[in-house]
A = this chain, B = another copy of it.
Amino acid sequence: MVKAAALPRNETGIATVIGILKQQFGDRLQTGQAIREQHGHTTTWIDNQMPDAVVFPHSTQEVSEIVKTCAAHKVPVIGFGTGTSLEGHVNAPAGGISVDLMQMNQILAVHAEDLDVVVQPGVTREQLNTHLRDQGLFFPIDPGANASLGGMAATRASGTNAVRYGTMKDNVIALEAVMADGEIIRTAQRAKKTSAGYDLTRLLVGSEGTLGLITEITLKLQGIPEAISAARCSFASMDAACQAVMATIQYGIPVARIELLDVIAVRAVNNYSKLDLPESPLLLLEFHGSENGVAEQAEMFGQIAEEFGGTGFDWTGSTEERNKLWQARHDFYWASLQLKPGTTALATDVCVPISRLAECVNAATAKAEELDLFAPLVGHVGDGNFHISPLIDADNAEEVARTEQFVAWLAELAISMDGTCTGEHGIGQGKRAYLTKEIGPATRYMAAIKAALDPDNIMNPGKIL
C-alpha cells in the first residue's frame, strides 16, 4: 500500500468537538473503529486514514452546526458520500470529523417543465433515475459506480455519457453549500444561464470538499430519448480503434457513449459476464435520438468503422441486449479483478486531446508491458480519457514501486501531450504531485482561494493542494 502523509493532529480540538457533537447528535455520532475505517479511503492502494468520528446530519442546518463547531475548534471536516472516490478524497490525514451525507437523500423537487431537479447530496444516481423514469426524464452523468450526487459534484465526475452530455460541471445549475465558517450559501438561482458574478457553482464543483460541503444540488435533466441503440465493433489494433473514434468525433456524430476496451479488458468481461466478444480491441457505442436519428448515426458509424478495418459491427435497438452489453462494461472493475484474484486494480485517469489518443494509448500499453504490469485498459475515448489499471498485489512492495513508476510516467506523458493527469477522478491525495507539473503557477491562485475561503484549512485538509 502507498501511505499518504499524515498531518499534525489537533487532539484537544478533536476531543472537544466530539464531546459537543455527541451531545447534539447522540447515536448519529459514531466513534467505533469499524465505522471510522469505512469512512477512510477503502478503494485501491492509498492507505486508509480514518477520521476520529462520523456524524450523520439530516439537514443543511445540522451540517452548518457541525461545521461551525469544527471551525470554532479548528478541527478537520471531511465530507462523505458512497466512498467510491479513487484518490484518497475521504481520508483524514489530520483526523477530524467525517460528515456522512447519505441520510440527506431526499429528492426535493422535480421541475419537469424546466428540465431540472433539486436533490440532497446523498441521493444516488440510480435512485434519481428510478424516481424520474415515470416522467420520461433522466440524469445522464454515469460514472459507473452508483455514486452520490453530492460526491459526483464534489469531484467533477463524468463517465461514459460525457461525450454527449458533458461532465458534472456542465450539468449542475446551482448548489447550496456550507462554507468553512458554517455559513449556508446558494451559488445561483434556477435560471438556465446567468452572468451574475463569479461562477461559485463551478468553483465548488470539483473542489473535493476543500472549500465547502455541498448540501443541495440543482441538476439539469434530459428527456429520455425516443430511441436508444447500442453498437459494437472489433478492430485489429488499438490504433485502428482510436482512429475510428477520432473520425467519429470529427465527423460530428452525436454518440452518447463510445468506449474502448483492449484485449485484456474484453477477456475480463467475457469471463465475468459470460459473453463471447471477439478477443481484440473493441468499441462499444450508444446512440440517442429519434428512431430515424439513431439508425442514421449507427449507419454513419458503421461506415467509419469499415474504413478502419472494423469487424463484427453490430447494432441493436433491443433494450435487453443493450443493457447486457453496458452492464458488462460497468462490471469491468469486478471483471478485471477476477483476471488475477487477490489483486487490487489501480485506475489511472489521464485525458488527452483526441488527436493524441492513439499515441498515448499505445505508449501506455507498451510501458505497462515493459514494466511487467498486467493492466487492462478501458476508456471514455470520445473525450480522450482512458483508464489503464495495473492489477497488483498491494503488499508486494516491488510491484507497488513499479506501479508508482508507471502512474507517474503516464501522468507526465499525458501532461506533455497537452492533457491532464485526471480526466474525472480528481486530485485527492493521489495526484497532488502532478498538479503543479500540469498547470504550473495557476496552483498559487488555487492556494490563495483556498486560504481566503478556509483560512484555518479545516475543509478536507491534505487534498488537491
Answer yes or no: A236 CB below 8 A from chain B CBs: no
Q: A117 contacts which chain B residues (CB < 8 A)?
A: none
Closest 8 CB pairs of A and B: A452-B452, A202-B202, A223-B252, A190-B418, A194-B420, A113-B355, A191-B351, A185-B442
A424 to B250 alpha-carbon distance, docked (Å): 29
- The answer to whether B453 touches A448 (Cβ under 8 A) is yes
A: contact size bracket: 35 or more
Residues from chain B with a CB closer than 8 A to the CB of A427 are 195-197
Q: Is A114 among interface residues, defined by CB-CB distance under 8 A?
A: yes
Q: Would you give the 0/1 interface string for A216-254, flagging 1 where the beta carbon is closer than 8 Å to chain B?
A: 000000110100000000000000000000100111100
Question: Beyond A185-B439, A190-B419, A191-B385: 4 further Cβ-contacts under 8 Å?
Answer: A169-B202, A189-B419, A191-B414, A292-B292
A298 to chain B, nearest CB (A): 13
Interface residue A155 (Cβ < 8 Å from any Cβ of B): yes
Q: With A223-B252, A452-B452 as given contacts, are A186 and B290 in contact (CB-CB < 8 Å)? A: no
On whether the beta carbons of B113 and A354 are closer than 8 Å, the reply is yes
User: In whole angstroms, what is the CA distance A435 to B293 when docked?
Assistant: 43
In this assembly, does A112 line the interface, its C-beta being within 8 Å of a C-beta of chain B? yes
* A450→B203 CA distance, assembly (Å): 13
A352 to B252, CA, bound (A): 31
A142 within 8 A of B: no
CB distance from A461 to the nearest CB of B (A): 15
Inter-subunit contact A116/B353 (CB<8 Å): yes
A88 an interface residue at 8 Å Cβ cutoff? no
Say whether A348 faces chain B, with CB atoms less than 8 Å apart: no
The answer, yes or no, to whether A205 is at the interface (CB within 8 Å) is yes
Report if A446 contacts B (CB, 8 A): yes
Inter-chain contacts of A446 with B (CB < 8 A): 197-198, 200
Residues of chain B with a CB closer than 8 A to A225's CB: 252
A166 to B452, CA, bound (A): 31
List 8 interface pairs A-B (beta carbons < 8 Å), by A numbering.
Answer: A113-B354, A183-B441, A189-B439, A197-B439, A198-B207, A199-B202, A200-B442, A222-B252
Measured between beta carbons, the chain B residues less than 8 angstroms from A252 are 222-223, 225
Q: Within A409-453, which residues are at the interface with B (CB < 8 Å)?
A: 414-415, 418-427, 431, 434-435, 438-446, 448-453
A1 in the interface (beta carbon within 8 A): no
Q: A111-B355, A112-B250, A252-B223 are in contact. Are A155 and B292 (CB under 8 A)?
A: no
* A448 and B452 within 8 A (CB): yes
Q: Is B385 within 8 A of A193, CB to CB?
A: yes
Is A195 within 8 A of B293, CB to CB? no
A205 touches which of B199, B420, B431 (Cβ 8 Å): B199
For A251, what are the chain B residues with a Cβ–Cβ distance below 8 Å? 223
Instruction: Please tell me if A267 contacts chain B, counting CB pairs below 8 Å.
Output: no
Asked whether A384 is an interface residue with its Cβ less than 8 Å from the other chain, the reply is: yes
Q: Across the interface, do A423 and B250 meet the contact criterion of CB distance under 8 Å?
A: no
Q: Which of B166, B191, B423 contacts A194 (CB 8 A)?
A: B423
| Smallest Cβ-Cβ distance to A194: which chain B residue | B420
User: A199 — which chain B residues lie within 8 A by C-beta?
Assistant: 156, 169, 199, 202-203, 205-206
Q: Are the C-beta atoms of B185 and A445 separated by less than 8 Å?
A: yes
Taking the closest CB of chain B, its distance from the CB of A302, in whole angstroms, is 15
In Å, the complex CA distance between A423 and B194 comes to 4
Q: Say if the beta carbon of A296 comes within 8 Å of chain B.
A: yes
Per-residue interface assignment for chain A, residues 101 to 142, with 1 indicating a CB less than 8 Å from any chain B CB and 0 otherwise: 000000000011111100000000000000000000000000
Q: Which residue of B lies closest to A416 (CB)?
A: B189
